[in-house]
Structure 1
Amino acid sequence: MADSSPNTSTRAKQKRSGFEKIIEAQQAVLLRAARRLYNNREDQAQDLVQDTLLKGYGAFLENKFEEGTNARAWLLRIMTNLFITEYNRKKKWEADVDFDNVVSEGSSGLEALQAPPADQPEAALVANVMDEPLEKALATLSPDLRVCLVMIDIEEVSYDEAAIALEIPIGTVRSRLFRARQRLHGLLQEYAKQRRR
């Protein structure tokens, strides 16, 4: 039989209140990161944030979050895991491939940069935040590279925080960030050359 004493009820309310404070402080950061991960597809970004908060709340109730530690890094790690799991699930089970949008091996990737804009109305609203070519280039990165770039260059998480959140050595964070920046630089340089013509 469940303990329904006033102490249990008070503790549950305190737990919920504690997590609500974390949500209040971190929700905007999570939504920005999710938008970047999903290339400004608002519905998917909001779903990812909701799933992150649900999973985080469950872990919080199980005392898997230590008060006073970095809540942002903890929640970003949960989000990263959910994003990569979803990416791998889609990659593994996706039967229909749109060959018009696949970057062929050995190509410069310009085809992805010049693809028509997404049919998402939210993409038009955030066009002033990040140029379309950069968004499309970002979408071509693997999830591991994209997560590092979004966390460090866009969300301005420190290398140490990213390493903790991603549960990888700081050297791996640096190498992934280097590869992501190098890939973006190459794609955007080609795009810039084409625009000058």
Structure 2
Amino acid sequence: MAKRNQPTLAGDVPSRQQIWESIRTLHANKLTITMARLDLLLPKVPASRITDYLRGLTAAGYLERNDPHKKPGKVVEYRLARDIGFEAPRVRRDGSEPPAPGREQLWRTMKIIGEFTAADLASAATTPDRTIAEATAHEYCKFLARADYLAITREPGPALPTRYRLAAGRWTGPMAPQIRRTKELYDPNTKSVVYSRVTRVDGGEP
């Protein structure tokens, strides 16, 4: 049975997303973006991680330095030059964009293709930069179905794989729900655990 809206740790949200949300908050409040202000908003995120992300965002054109020729001892101030919305840009330190993780590709693809099997989804989500294995898609679909994100449109049978579709109203946002090592499904869009596997006394699953 799915468990919804359980409390969770802030650390479950990727640090990149936390930094980006804090940048947008400062911008919305008409405050310049500085390391000191981000440190106050993000006490659990290492300063080195914030610095690396600021560098990448600047190189990619999302941020601009107010004084590109900072003098020693002067605080570096940034402004948000390119706001793409809620989802944090994925950038390396040099500003280049890495390929999207496999589950992000699966999550976004299933919104587009209608009904699908795990094989259909893996094929549609595969790009020249990243190949998605059918086994990866199968595991992800299984967890999303248990959390009621996917509706089953055809039960599996002899030589017939399960068919799915995204359930009505279950697209919660652009960030892919994550399968934790504890076999829970965590949705970073809602910041909640949406499924937790319950183990039977005899060791099986319900």
- Fold shared, TM-score > 0.5 on shorter chain: no
TM-score, normalisation: structure 2: 0.25
Give the TM-score normalised by structure 1: 0.25
